[in-house]
Amino acid sequence: EPEVTQTPSHQVTQMGQEVILRCVPISNHLYFYWYRQILGQKVEFLVSFYNNEISEKSEIFDDQFSVERPDGSNFTLKIRSTKLEDSAMYFCASSEQAVYNEQFFGPGTRLTVL
Amino acid sequence: AQTVTQSQPEMSVQEAETVTLSCTYDTSESDYYLFWYKQPPSRQMILVIRQEAYKQQNATENRFSVNFQKAAKSFSLKISDSQLGDAAMYFCAYRSAFPTSGTYKYIFGTGTRLKVLA
């Protein structure tokens, strides 16, 4: 059964460094999402992406964040200059359609900013 | 704005017994979807069950069923004949059917960790 994959599973970085989190959505899916979960808190929506552009972004998704689908298979989340408060689990999700289909989630990348 | 609340951070159930996980939500919308996702340790979230708000009938999937009370804005998950493999974090999620923003993002609760005792 197709799955959403994410790499790396764990990323440790120094404050101020750039990180790129990678996701490979299910191949025939058209809608892509990033969520994050700070330890002990809710899973929060960051951004949705469709047709090579951002559909919606949350207040969390400021100018330090960007997303890209560089080659038709990968879907990346870049944090330009990481802060301590960016430490969280980041989940990628994709869906075939928006309305009737559920989202399929990757296993997450745990980002630790020191 | 919509919110989802899971008031039970952790639950335990004896193997073969039944357990109910609670979820309440707040919305002014009439059309929406509700989901329960299961996340085993170090694994991805997988869909357990979904409910369309326009359907009065409660969804069931094998040993999993929901009690959807639209007026009360309650969406609980019942797991019957619990198995060791049911041990996981369970997330309740809300999604608009016709979002004003045009995007079908999920709004999650904080999750309930379910332990299954042998």
pLDDT of residue A112: 97
Q: Which residues pair with A88 in a beta bridge?
A: A111
**What is the full DSSP assignment across B90-107?**
EEEEEEESS-TTS----E
In angstroms, the separation between the Cα of residue B18 and the nearest Cα of chain A is 26
Note the pLDDT of residue B95.
94
Helix (H) or strand (E) holding B5: strand B3-5
Dist CA B12 CA B18 (whole Å): 10
CB A104 within 8 A of CB A29: yes
Could you report the per-residue pLDDT of A12-59, keeping only the tens digit for each?
A: 999 999 999 999 999 989 999 999 999 888 899 999 999 899 999 999
A107 at interface of B, judged by CB pairs closer than 8 A: yes
Closest-approach residue (CA) in chain B for A98: B104
The whole-angstrom separation of Cα A18 and Cα A89 is 16
Distance from CA of A84 to the nearest CA of B (A): 21
Angle B112-B117-B118 from CA coordinates, rounded to 5°: 150
Nearest Cα to A93, choosing from A105, A101, A102, A76? A105
Paired strand residues for A19: A79
Provide the pLDDT confidence category of residue B1 given band limits of 50, 70 and 90: confident
Cα(B75)–Cα(B111) distance, rounded to whole angstroms? 13
Residues of B in contact with A48 (CB under 8 A): 103-105
Q: Mean pLDDT over all residues of chain B?
A: 94
Q: Which residues of B touch A91 (CB under 8 A)?
A: 44-45
pLDDT at B118 (0 to 100):
94
Percent of chain A with pLDDT over 70: 98
One-letter amino acid identity for B39?
Q
The two structure tokens encoding residue B108: 């999650």
Question: CB of B45 within 8 Å of any CB in chain A?
Answer: yes
The C-alpha R_g of chain B, in whole angstroms, comes to 14
Answer whether B55 touches A (CB < 8 Å).
no
Looking at the complex, does the CB of residue B42 fall below 8 Å from at least one CB of chain A? Answer: yes
Write down the residue that tokens 């042998």 correspond to.
B118
Give the residue-averaged pLDDT of B107-117. Answer: 96
Tokens found for residue A79:
């944090």
Q: Which of A13, A46, A34 is nearest to A108 (CA)?
A: A34
